[in-house]
Structures are given as structure tokens and as C-alpha cells.
Amino acid sequence: MSFRGRLSTFLVLLAVVVALAVYTVNTYFLPQSGVADFTLAQPAGAPVNLTVQTVGQINFGPHPTWVSYLVQDPSGQWLHDTTWKVPAHTRINVTVRQYDSGSPLRNQQWGKVQGVAGNVEILNGKPISVYDSNSGNGVGHTFAIPTLGISVPLVAVDPNATNICSSAPCHSDSVSNTITFSFMSPGPGEYPWQCFVPCGLGFLFGNGGPMSDANYMGGFLDVVQ
Amino acid sequence: MSDTAPRPDDAPVAAADGEPRHFARMIAIWLMLSLILDPLFYFLVGPHVPPGTMTSTAEENQFDFNILIVIALPVLIAVWVYLGYSIVMWRAPKSGVADPVGGETARTHLGVQAAWIAITSVIVLFLAGFGTFELISTNGAGGGEGPNPIWTPTAAHILPIQVIGQQWAFTYRYPTFGGFETKQLMVPVDTTIAFHVTSLDVIHSFWAYQLSIKADANPQVDNVAFTTTNHTGSVTVRCSELCGLWHGAMFNYGQVISKQAFENWATATEKANASNTKLLPPFAWTYVPDANGADGGYYNDTVVPYSPSEVYGAKQPAS
């Protein structure tokens, strides 16, 4: 083969390798989601309404069987984004639509509502400050921002219900619990949030998989001025 | 300045045919600097060396660091003096050829070799002995001693605090106050504390910096570390064992407060947390987490009873 032929072959192979590398990094290593921005067109000082849902399996993307959070952007569209940009020193009204089943908490300490207004969450219209995860359907997930002292148990749905959501985004025709609570956003900064239920089924201690990927059961509250 | 290479037989002490006594000069400079800088460091910088003096272990660790630095400083000065002296005395002339390296002048010198071996051996052996003594005399120097500590404090009243590591937060249980669990680390001043460190999942490490406490948190292991608080202040707690995605966010803050303030806080928190405390597993030194994911909580291991050696005031543990 001539020099030009060898060079062409080399360049083609190089391009293939680079393309594979870019695809691999982009698919498996880089965040798959963007930022849900709640600061756009937000009147100064007005409360931010943050609506999220937790689903038993997301059913799309590189890990379709993984459990995940989704967020509803201001236009009402459900996004697989776990970085939520909110304004500083603003009341954040959170609504969680919890579509997943659950279990007793590994540490019942996370069954206590902490760090939010009144240390109370509203579960399907009823205020609670502590949820006994060994009773009822248990807890599916928690929403916690440890650096802000926030921890809210998300009570699970009946695992035997016939209309359990099996594919995200879930809608109101599936069984769900609605949990609401409020908190004040702090000063600017990035505040990690996470779930304290080891819900990475199939992984050691349940904290692998979706619990160890910032795009599923954890992310950042990106607080900006 | 001399352009003449040292003669083979002039190091380290000889000063033949007008050659300066280089070795003696260097020793004099080194000794003078060491005698000045060591006390300056110890008395001016030493009191500010981390981790401070908030606890007995912090104070002892600060003392240990200062001793190490006082010993290391002359070694550092020796290297710098030799380097500086060499640059000044034996650098290559601006014109002409540099002195040759090697040959007779670079041959080994028995006295220097023997002195090097002797001095470094003495320093290392002293430090080994000093370190061991400091470890024993300070009840483990704030490090985790495992479930059966051999260096225990003699205080009549020891407050036990259980530290529970989990991905990704530390929580604390106070067995002498009904076994309530909280995310806040509150500690009374002038009190001997026994930290019982364990984990519900992977290996973490409880590092309360200003308390100078650092103990691994292993699942199903009760790792005990002791200290005595000297004065009030803020405490930063970090996980110092890479434990997963949010390891970097696994930190919180605590306070060393007055005894009365602690009693008030503990009593109020015990009352406020009562509805959740009754749902927790009975207090135990370790717990058995479910390894299969979300299905199930953590359980009292029912193995080790509460240690009667740790009695805080008239209070007895919840178990």
C-alpha cells in the first residue's frame, strides 16, 4: 500500500476511534441533563414553585431501569435535569409527586421532616412532621439538602396498586402521593441535594447506580443572586 | 570567595595551607540559626499550630507537631546552610572553568558518614519513642482505638456520643439522653467524651478537626476515640474517607458549649425528637444494615451491652 493509502487508512481509523471515544464519554461519563432554570422571567422576590417527581424507573436514556427524579420546567415540561437554578433568599415552594413504592428507612432519622418551613410537609393535604417508615407503604425516597439541614421523607405508594407508573414522566392517572413543603433559598452557591433512601436496587447497600450518579437521585440546587 | 577546590584531605575539619575551615563555619552558622529560629518558632508560631487547643487531644497533637517541627527545623536549616554556603563559596568563576566534581574531593568521609547514621538514628528512634509515649499518655491521641480500647481515660464521668456514618451524612446519638439521634454535634466543655464511631453502609471516617478526633466509621464496628474538651467553640466535621459520590459534601458543624447549655440543649432535643426516637432501633454500639438496598432498616445488633465505664452524671444509657 502506498504512503497515501496508509495515511488515509490511519486517518479513517483515527476518526473512528475519536468518534467512539467522544460517544462513550458523552454517553456514560458526562451529565446527560442540563439545568432547569427557575430564575428566568421570575419577578424579584416572588416565590419559586418547584415541581418534581420521583419515578421507579425512568425508562429512557442509558439506564432505563434506574430510579430517578424529574423536574418540571416553568413551561410545564418534564425534564430529566437534576441541577435546579433558583434565586437566592427566595421562598421555594416544592411539590413532589412521588410515584415510587418504598420500604422502611435504613435510618429512621430521615423519617423526620427537618429544615423546611415549620418542619412540616403536607402529605396529600395532611401535615406531618415524622413518618414512621416501618408502617404503611414505607418511604420511597427522601429529598435532602444536607448542607442546608433539609430532609423530607417522600412516602411511598402502594406497591400492589394496579396503576403504578412504569415509565417517566408519570402522570396523574398513575397512583402517587403529593408532598409539598417550603424553604428559603440561601445565599448564592451550589448546594448538593440527594436521596437518603438507598434506592439503587441491585447495588451493594443500595447506594450504587442511580445513587452514585448525579443525574438520577441527586444533583445541585444552583442558587444565584 | 575562593576559586580553589577543597583539598581531598581538608573536609570536614582540616584547614591546611590557608584554606578556610568550611565545616566549622557551616556548623557555626547552623548552630546560631537553629538556636534563634527554634525558640522563635516554638514560642511565637507554636501556639497557633493546628489543630488548636479546644480539647486535650488537640492540645497534645499541637504539642507533638511543635516538637516535630522543632526537631525538623535544624535539619532544614542544615540543608539550606550547606546549600547557601556552597553557592557562595564554591560556585563556578565567571571566567574560567568550573571546579571538577568528583575525584578525590568527592570521596566518602568516614566521620561524616558515621555522624549522619548516628544523628538520624537517634532522631528516628527518639521520635518513635516519643510518638508511642504520646499515643499512650493521651488515651489514643484522638484516634479510633477500635471496639476494645486499651488506653482509656480515668475520668469519673464520660459522655458517650455515637457517631453514625451513612452515605452521605453523619448523625449522632446520645445514649444518656434517651438515645435520640440528631444531625447536630453538640458537646459540653470540660468533659471527657467517648466517641463511638460506626457506619450503616460503607467505610467513612469521622474527622472532627478542632476536637482532634479522627476515627474510621466501619459498618458493624464500634470504633472508640476519647478526648476531653478544654474550651468552647465551633467544630467542623468532615468525612475523611472517600465514600462515594457526595463524599465532598459530607460535612457538618458542631459546637462545644457550656455544661448548662448542653444540658438544656440535650434535654430539649430529647423532648423534641421523642416522636422519632421511639421509631429508631434500640440504642446499640453497632447496627446491622440491610445490604440489599432499600428493603429494610438498620437493626440493633443485640451483641454488646452498654459499657458501665461511661456514665455521664446520673444518667444511664437508653439501652
Residue type, B266: A
Q: Is the dihedral of CA A179, A184, A185, A186 positive or negative?
A: negative
Specify the pLDDT at position B20: 80
Q: How many domains does chain B have?
A: 2
Do B120 and B197 have their domain in common? Answer: no
Specify the pLDDT at position B301: 43
Q: Which of residues 238-257 of B touch A (CB under 8 A)?
A: 244-246, 249-252
Hey, how many other C-beta atoms are within 10 angstroms of the C-beta on B37?
A: 15
Do B45 and B75 have their domain in common? Answer: yes
Do A6 and A106 have their domain in common? Answer: no
pLDDT tens digits along B113-147: 898 899 999 999 999 999 999 988 888 889 999 88
Do A98 and A157 have their domain in common? Answer: yes
Q: Is B171 on the interface with A (CB under 8 A)?
A: yes
What is the domain extent for residue B219? 158-291
Among residues B218, B223, B222, B224, the alpha carbon closest in space to that of B243 is found at B218
Percent of chain B with pLDDT over 70: 81
Does the pLDDT of residue A93 top 70, yes or no? yes
pTM comes to 0.80
Specify the pLDDT at position A33: 56
What is the domain extent for residue A161? 35-224
Instruction: For residue A27, report the phi and psi dihedrals to the nearest 5 degrees.
Output: -80, -40
CA dihedral B139, B141, B146, B149 (to 10 degrees): -10
CA distance B219 to B147: 12
Contact at CB, B245 and A214, closer than 8 angstroms? yes
Instruction: For residue A200, report the phi and psi dihedrals to the nearest 5 degrees.
Output: -85, 75
Written as tens digits, the pLDDT of chain B (319 aa) is 444 444 444 444 444 567 788 889 999 999 999 999 999 999 999 999 999 999 999 999 999 999 999 999 999 999 999 999 988 888 777 776 666 555 566 677 788 889 889 999 999 999 999 999 998 888 888 999 988 888 888 887 889 999 999 989 999 999 888 889 999 999 999 999 999 999 988 899 999 999 999 999 998 889 999 999 999 999 999 999 999 889 999 999 999 999 999 999 999 999 999 998 988 887 888 877 654 444 444 444 444 444 444 444 333 344 3
Do B129 and B228 have their domain in common? Answer: no
Contact at CB, B294 and A132, closer than 8 angstroms? no
Q: Is B124 exposed, middle or buried (0-12, 13-18, 19+ CB in 10 A)?
A: exposed
B261 lies in some domain = yes
Q: Is B231 on the interface with A (CB under 8 A)?
A: no
Q: How many domains does chain A have?
A: 2
Give the one of B164, B202, B297 whose C-beta lies nearest to A205's C-beta.
B202
Specify the pLDDT at position A151: 95
Give the one of B245, B279, B293 whose C-beta lies nearest to A203's C-beta.
B293
CATH of residue A116's domain is: 2.60.40.420
